[in-house]
Amino acid sequence: MVILRCCHRSVVGVALLSRAHLTRLSFDAVCFTVDGDRPRAWVATVRDGDCTWRAMPRSEDVRVDFDPWLFEDRCVRAAGDIYWHICNSSRALKLDPRTLDFSYLPVPAELGDRFKKYRIGETPEDKELFFTPYIHQQLVITMDFVEGLPKSKNKDVILVM
């Protein structure tokens, strides 16, 4: 994991927000930092090789009350939002890519024990958010964690990593 520290600021991760054109070097990306004890989004806009940066205000609603090293450097885009897993935590950090607002998302009680590992994903058909346990380098996808899915469709799928 690469976390750069400077003046009480930690760079945690980067995520692609949009691509303006597939054949040109044109895109928007967000750089997620922890500035003091607050998350902050920095947006890079690249158009035909020229880059500009916008520093968004530090989040007023979310406080990072733990070491930023506990954030995983890679993020997951699922159900329209961007998520960063927090090691040994019963919550994940969520970024709304439309508003660039941060919030915490609690992990379902079945997975919320600080010693259990989990991953976040989305169902391919309807893009619903789900959580899945990560046990001994296997992902056990239990479909009953999918909000709104009928119980008759629940099943476990094991993916060996």
- How many residues can be counted in the chain? 161
Higher pLDDT: 24 or 139? It is 24
Decide: helix, strand or coil at residue 25.
coil
Show the tokens assigned to 93: 């950090």
Q: Which residues pair with 120 in a beta bridge?
A: 131
pTM of the model: 0.76
In the sheet with 50-55, reading across from the earlier edge strand, the strands are 4-6, 9-21, 26-35, 38-47, 50-55
**Nearest CA among 126, 123, 160 for reference residue 145:** 123
- Give the residue carrying structure tokens 């329209």: 80
Give the number of other Cβ atoms within 10 Å of residue 149's Cβ. Answer: 15
Of the two residues 25 and 117, the one the predictor is more confident about is 25
pLDDT of residue 55: 94
Cβ atoms 25, 46 nearer than 8 A? yes
Helix, strand, or coil (residue 69): helix
d(CA 46, CA 53): 9
CB distance 62 to 40 below 8 Å: no
CA dist., res. 142 & res. 157, Å (int): 7
Mean pLDDT across the stretch 74-97?
91
The pLDDT score that the predictor gives to residue 154 is 44
pLDDT per residue over 20-77, tens digit each?
767 778 889 999 999 999 999 999 999 888 999 999 999 999 999 999 989 987 899 9
